[in-house]
Amino acid sequence: MSPWVVGFSVFIVYPMVSSLYFSFTRYDLLSEPVFVGLENYRFMFTQDPNFWQSVRNTLWMVGVGVSLRIVFGVVTATVLTWPRRGAKVYRTIFFLPTMAPPVAAAVAFVFVLNPRIGPVNQLLGALGMEHPPLWFYSPGSAKWGLVLLGLWGVGDAMIIFLAGLLDVPRQLYEAAEIEGAGPWQRFRFVTLPMISPVIFFNLVMGVISGFQYFTQAYVASVATSGNRVATQALGYPQGSMLFYSVYLYQQGFTYFRMGYASAMAWVLFLITMACTALIFRTSARWVHYGGALR
Amino acid sequence: MRRALVVLSVLAAVGAACTAGGGGGTSPPPTIEPSGTHEPVTIEIWGAWSGRELKQFNQIFPAFEEKYPWITVKSVGNRDDEAIVAAIRAGNPPDVVLSFGLDSVGEFCASGGWQDLTPYIEQSDFDLSQFPESVFKYTSFAGSQCALPFLTDAYGLYYNVDLFEKAGLTEPPKTFSELTEYAKKLTEFNPDGSIKVAGFVPWAGFYEFGAVTLSIPWQAHWYDESGEHSAVATDPRWKQALEWQRDLVDFYGAANLKRFIAGLGGEWGAGHAFHHGQIAMMIDGEWRTAFIQDLAPDLNYATAPFPVPDDAADRYGMGQIGGTIIGIPRGSPHPAEAWLLVSWMATDTDTLVYMANNVRNVPTTYAALESPDLDVTPQFKTFLDIFQNPYSHYKETSAIGVQDQDLMGAFMEDWQEGKVPDLQAGLEQVAEQIDALLAQARI
């Protein structure tokens, strides 16, 4: 057997099969798993209020967070193609936040967006805003704080868009210009189609990581709630930052409900697969692969 | 996350092969004659201590090693419940475990992950009357005494004496209506309406204030007598407690209070709001006395039992208790020596007094509580009394660990924000959710 087969079986196939089995059991890690049939799935869909909350939060993040990141990434990359001089410096500056470790970045944002002592709200207050948002302290604005954090670290997506943008052949723009296309038309009918494969790639990766959104939400909840038991702070405030993976972690490792957590992991896997498949199916309509044969 | 699951599953599978036969069973526990000669053996204890507290904790073992010269103790810190559970699951646990997670006692006992100590207790004629009765409630579950206490925490009221004097107050509040009255008197607002000093912050999740710390002084029950159903919707105390809380929140205004809290320092650092006179009263554990001594030695403060409901004034003096637990995990390599260590740690007066004087937790045996060597400041004395009060207790242990608290905590977050239109209906929903989890745990 080649090493690849061994690694694949031991680290991928076997754990997946076992977690599928565990999903049909009550398994607290300490006792032997007890087979309970579809009970975990029944409980998940019909009785667990936090499950649906975590699903809604996650879908919001995938819908709003991922699309804004793509729009912001494309816009930033486009702007970065403009400077004639110092382009490399600007690119580095915009890419730098991506290098910050997610935990450190989240802690920093909790401070920057602190409603009372944070610089953002002090600025908003100085500008005359009477009731600036409470950011991570209010369920209405907490997720927007995370979105801002995501946009600040958009460098990873931006750098790929930039590569795509710089690859668009100049003669296409020249041809469009001769035909009388303005800047917006050039962007809409030349740039966008030409970078659509890159958008497609970022969309798929964004959706997958959006469904697994964990670190920033975990850190922001714990740092904000002030609760001394980190696991009791998950989702703070009012469950607005309880994302699917956070809830899954809480079930498996705080409540020791590994059977239920396994069931949740499988549902997440199936949803992610379904969404990815859907994006792939619709891609034929909007993704253009230059001259390549498909 | 999936990766973590995957890794854990692999560990579980590898461990499954090793655990066979490692279980407790009903056969008599292994014993050892302490006075005989033995092969030298090293036993390992895991716990979640870290930093200063770990260093202090490690100082206790030389006395044990002197008493049992053939045993060497290796103490490993920074091991939380997650690590301990994984090690038990993998069949490679330490000999003795120590946990701060007393809410998981139900799971530890019921699963047999922590061995029932009853056979050891019986075989060695271990005297359980050395402990106040209240400790057994949080160290046993479903007939299994799977843990013993190793010092404990007690919760009471901390108040700032200077701010009291400024407001013309001399005595601490004894009932919840007095607490509200005092809180209002002690609160100072800025000209723009924001809070400058809060008398008492009744915000769930703020420092130690939450579902459990609110329920116990209010004598609100989590479960009915059978222990099979949630009592949060049927015990009228819950409604009273939450209405009291909401009333005080409304005095400040929820948004105003949140903005105030957001600007306060963290619970474990030098920026703690009580250290700086930003809050006049709070509920906290006895360990705070050590933090104040360390971080704000000039603070003029006093402690008292936490207030009780007006119609239960005779119970004044009680409070929430419950703290560190120790036990023998399933598969412990040297269970006889492990029991020697567990029973020694739980009862050795010098050790308990040393830990109480340094880590500042409440010792758990009568002998240690009465020891002349115990360093008793007036502020610390309050907590020794609370611990010995017959009405003091911890919340009922259940098979669902902290999930009941988390559900209630989440509900309180909605409630304090004014997002629950019908309190009784809301409590019924929480009770239903807790019951559903209990039912799941029983399948």
On the CB side of B242, how many CA atoms lie within 13 Å of its CA? 24
Q: What are the backbone dihedrals phi and psi of residue B206, each rounded to the nearest 5 degrees, phi first?
A: -85, 120
B209 in A contact zone (CB under 8 Å)? no
A240 or B30, which is more confident: A240
**Could you read off the pLDDT of B275-309 as tens digits, one per residue?**
999 999 999 999 999 889 989 999 999 999 999 99
A236 or B71, which is more confident: B71
- Please report the pLDDT score of residue B425 as a whole number: 97
Average pLDDT, chain B: 90
- Please report the pLDDT score of residue B50 as a whole number: 87
Query: Chain B: residue nearest A121 by CA?
Result: B259
Please answer yes or no on whether A18 and B436 come within 8 Å at the CB atom: no
**Could you read off the pLDDT of A76-87 as tens digits, one per residue?**
999 999 888 888
Average pLDDT over residues B211-224: 96
Res B220 pLDDT > 70: yes
B110 or B25, which is more confident: B110
C-alpha A25/C-alpha A58 separation (Å) is 26
- Please report the pLDDT score of residue A115 as a whole number: 87
pLDDT interval class at B431 (50, 70, 90): very high
Identify which of A31, A232, A248 has the shortest CB distance to residue B111. Answer: A31
Please answer yes or no on whether B406 and A232 come within 8 Å at the CB atom: yes
In this prediction the ipTM stands at 0.80
Average pLDDT over residues B199-214: 94
Identify which of A22, A26, A256 has the shortest CB distance to residue B401. Answer: A256
Residue given tokens 């980190």 in the structure block:
A230
Residue of B3, B7, B8, B84 to mutate, testing the A interface (most A Cβ within 10 Å of its Cβ): B8
Contacts of A139 in chain B (CB under 8 A): 417
Identify which of A10, A19, A226 has the shortest CB distance to residue B205. Answer: A226
Contacts of B2 in chain A (CB under 8 A): 212, 265, 268-269
A13 in B contact zone (CB under 8 Å)? no
pLDDT interval class at B15 (50, 70, 90): very low
Taking a contact as any Cβ pair under 8 Å apart, which residues of chain A between 41 and 80 contact chain B?
43, 47-50
A81 in B contact zone (CB under 8 Å)? no
Query: Chain B: residue nearest A214 by CA?
Result: B1
Listed in order, the ranges of chain B carrying CATH 3.40.190.10 are 10-23+38-152+322-388, 155-315
Domain boundaries A34-285, CATH class: mainly alpha
Contact A18/B9 with Cβ under 8 angstroms? yes
Contacts of B258 in chain A (CB under 8 A): 115, 134, 137-138
Please answer yes or no on whether A254 and B86 come within 8 Å at the CB atom: no
Q: What are the backbone dihedrals phi and psi of residue B152, each rounded to the nearest 5 degrees, phi first?
A: -150, 175
Taking a contact as any Cβ pair under 8 Å apart, which residues of chain A between 14 and 33 contact chain B?
14-16, 18-19, 22, 26, 28-31
Could you say which DSSP state residue B201 is in?
-
CATH topology of domain B155-315: D-Maltodextrin-Binding Protein; domain 2 (3.40.190)
The percent of residues above 70 in pLDDT, for chain A, comes to 96
Average pLDDT over residues A236-257: 91
Res B20 pLDDT > 70: no
Please answer yes or no on whether B263 and A14 come within 8 Å at the CB atom: no
> Distance between alpha carbon A107 and the CA centroid of its chain, in Å?
18
Average pLDDT, chain A: 91
Contacts of A237 in chain B (CB under 8 A): 413
C-alpha A68/C-alpha A66 separation (Å) is 5
- Please report the pLDDT score of residue A228 as a whole number: 61
- Please report the pLDDT score of residue B14 as a whole number: 39
Q: How far is CA A118 from CA A39, A53, A153, A217, B93, in A?
A: 46, 29, 19, 19, 46
Res B368 pLDDT > 70: yes
Please answer yes or no on whether A15 and B330 come within 8 Å at the CB atom: no
Residue given tokens 């937790």 in the structure block:
B361
The percent of residues above 90 in pLDDT, for chain B, comes to 75
C-alpha B382/C-alpha B156 separation (Å) is 8
**Could you read off the pLDDT of B75-121 as tens digits, one per residue?**
999 998 889 999 998 899 999 999 998 888 988 998 899 999 999 99
Taking a contact as any Cβ pair under 8 Å apart, which residues of chain B between 305 and 324 contact chain A?
none
Average pLDDT over residues B172-201: 96
Res A213 pLDDT > 90: yes
pLDDT interval class at B8 (50, 70, 90): very low
CA distance A95 to chain B (A): 26
Contact B211/B412 with Cβ under 8 angstroms? yes
- CATH homologous superfamily of domain B10-23+38-152+322-388? Periplasmic binding protein-like II (3.40.190.10)
pLDDT interval class at B266 (50, 70, 90): confident
pLDDT interval class at A188 (50, 70, 90): very high
pLDDT interval class at A291 (50, 70, 90): low
Report which of B31, B84, B121, B30 is spatially closest to residue B346, judged by C-alpha positions.
B121
Please answer yes or no on whether B9 and A19 come within 8 Å at the CB atom: yes
Average pLDDT over residues A54-62: 96
Instruction: Report the alpha-carbon angle B401-B28-B22, nearest 5.
Output: 55
Q: What are the backbone dihedrals phi and psi of residue B27, each rounded to the nearest 5 degrees, phi first?
A: -65, 155
Residue of B1, B278, B405, B442 to mutate, testing the A interface (most A Cβ within 10 Å of its Cβ): B1
CA distance B406 to chain A (A): 6
- Please report the pLDDT score of residue A290 as a whole number: 66
pLDDT interval class at A119 (50, 70, 90): very high
Contact B103/B402 with Cβ under 8 angstroms? yes
Res A294 pLDDT > 50: no
Res B386 pLDDT > 90: yes
Taking a contact as any Cβ pair under 8 Å apart, which residues of chain B between 132 and 171 contact chain A?
none
C-alpha B233/C-alpha B429 separation (Å) is 8
Contact A49/B433 with Cβ under 8 angstroms? yes
pLDDT interval class at B10 (50, 70, 90): very low
Contacts of B111 in chain A (CB under 8 A): 28, 30-31
Contacts of B259 in chain A (CB under 8 A): 115-116, 134, 137
CB neighbourhood size of B201 (10 A): 26
C-alpha B32/C-alpha B35 separation (Å) is 9
Taking a contact as any Cβ pair under 8 Å apart, which residues of chain A between 209 and 268 contact chain B?
212, 214, 224-229, 231-233, 235-239, 245, 248-249, 252-256, 258, 261-262, 265, 268
Rg of chain B over Cα atoms, rounded to whole angstroms, equals 23
In the three-class reduction of DSSP (H, G, I as helix; E, B as strand; rest coil), residue A82 is classed as coil
Residue spans of the domains in chain A: they are: 34-285
Could you say which DSSP state residue B172 is in?
P
